[in-house]
Structure 1
């Protein structure tokens, strides 16, 4: 774990590799319980079977808004215990976003106490009075904790920080060492790097990696929170092989591999279901049920309640058909 004072020095060497954002497998009536054995198996699959380097816990993909404070704490504790028993140096990233700053502090303190390495805070989902409000939220948390902090600048919050606002947070909160830029606006990430070069950036628009942004030091050699376990299997580690080529600066080889392996086509074939609900097409979501359906196709445990908890809708049949067909076409699933 990095304390606030050493966060940036620690991050420069620690944040590397694939960071898996874990879903939450629900069970019981209306998904009111969590399949803890299934969750442990998912952690082991990511860290041991696939040999991925980081975990991103209790995130948007995990449906943090539908989890109690107690459930979020236990999910993090279980992930740390399972992962560190296999790989002691695994980097554990915890998302402690909450609508109340006090709840965020409670979750961040808990992450600090149980041994998470870094905490990410999504731009507050409600009542964020612009960049000043987000800065005040981060300051409130940083003043009461002592752990490395990251920003999670996602459009699902309803407010996306400008480069200047993100740079100001980095300048005024020394614990902030990294950011997951999830708004798919790479021009803003480039500007943020110019304003705050000390900040490690993961740009979710991965095309920038093919443009040499890693070589130029604009982005970090790590996926700070992705669902890499949905694109890798023990038999075909397509995702890992592609990113290893990128991180080795073999960009032409990486692009060739993405084409010949089917990885590029897979992104088109599976459609927008992971992050888009058709009834609200202008909103970026983390549709937990869609991620879990894809996981089920690969034989991963998702609990006996395969849906998301409210307020998310159930995944429609046409989405399942498109996702399944995509897995068949890329060869990760038999027809």
Structure 2
């Protein structure tokens, strides 16, 4: 760790910039983690310039795996990354004790911190969720990023986020409520050294202008394929304050952006990533990241739908 508890927010402020990507997990024909392909994919992510990796969440499919799979996956990722970029896990737990155990495990492997979601079982009030998060934070020195999302069944209130932001090692939040105004209001209300990340890429250029600094735990930078340099271009120009110049490469991404958002409507409607994973895995394959099949019980994309998707990506210049 490059920070103490009291230094966690300052460290995060310096470290969290650009594109912290949440990659998909390569699965082999036997339904197991493909260790060789995982290594190769991570090498390529780093070569392509990701600014950090946030692994092990919904799109990584670890919610369908056993605890032993979870341990092995995180070990394989740590061995593949080898400290070359900041590395975070994602904690999806209803048990605070289990969350602390997982954090201790990844800390030994060299992870820099974790994104953490509020419990999906019980603990629904602000005070209950606060106590859960404080229990975990008190027992781990790792930097924690909250995930504000409706997916666990309770969307954490802004009052709660502002309270949690006062804990030294809770350094930021992925503001995933699908409301742009929530991001702006929360950034205004929370302490200035608390990072509020807007995860929708369509807002990222404007968000840089409004005080944002990182596209946290997303997959846009990888998913845009051949159009990826446009993201880096508008981000670099935006950080330099050259907003009018940055708008041109941002606008050039609009056809691919609209296509993706049209496909992702079920994710916002249902509050789950399941069908989204089945669509995105063939997308990643089409742009050169072998990730294999979707783990059951999620259904894989039918062959004709996969062919249509790849054809559309080629027409858009993504693949």
Same fold (TM over 0.5): yes
Unpaired runs of 5+ residues, structure 1, are none
Task: Specify whether residues 210 and 270 from structure 1 end up closer, same or farther in structure 2 by C-alpha distance, changes over 3 A only.
Answer: closer
Q: CA deviation at 1:332?
A: 3.0
- Determine the C-alpha separation between the residues in 2 that align with 1:298 and 1:206: 19
Matching residue of 1:315: 301
Size of the alignment, in residue pairs? Answer: 315
| 1:187 aligns with one of 181, 199, 202 | 181
| 2:89 aligns with one of 94, 99, 111 | 94
Q: TM-score of the superposition, structure 1-length normalised?
A: 0.85
Q: Deviations over 1:46-103 (max 9, x none)?
A: 002x12120111011112311222222222222222222xxx4511111122222222
Unpaired runs of 5+ residues, structure 2, are none
* Between 202-211 and 123-132, the greater mean CA deviation after superposition: 202-211
Q: 1:47 aligned to 2:46?
A: yes
- Determine the C-alpha separation between the residues in 1 that align with 2:42 and 2:201: 25
Task: Specify whether residues 207 and 67 from structure 1 end up closer, same or farther in structure 2 by C-alpha distance, changes over 3 A only.
Answer: same
Q: CA deviation at 1:208?
A: 4.1
SS of aligned partner of 1:294: helix
Q: Deviations over 1:262-285 (max 9, x none)?
A: x111122245445726xx943342
SS of aligned partner of 2:140: coil
SS of aligned partner of 1:276: helix
Matching residue of 1:264: 254
Task: Specify whether residues 190 and 35 from structure 1 end up closer, same or farther in structure 2 by C-alpha distance, changes over 3 A only.
Answer: same
| 1:231 aligns with one of 224, 242, 246 | 224
| 1:162 aligns with one of 157, 163, 171 | 157
Structure holding more helix per residue: 2
Q: Deviations over 1:262-321 (max 9, x none)?
A: x111122245445726xx943342532222111111121113xx12332x3333456535
- Determine the C-alpha separation between the residues in 2 that align with 1:236 and 1:183: 25
Task: Specify whether residues 93 and 294 from structure 1 end up closer, same or farther in structure 2 by C-alpha distance, changes over 3 A only.
Answer: same
RMSD: 2.3
Q: CA deviation at 1:232?
A: 3.3
Question: Relative contact order (C-alpha < 8 Å, sep 6+): which is higher?
Answer: 1
Q: 1:17 aligned to 2:18?
A: yes
- Determine the C-alpha separation between the residues in 1 that align with 2:179 and 2:11: 27
Task: Specify whether residues 37 and 14 from structure 1 end up closer, same or farther in structure 2 by C-alpha distance, changes over 3 A only.
Answer: same
- Determine the C-alpha separation between the residues in 2 that align with 1:142 and 1:42: 32
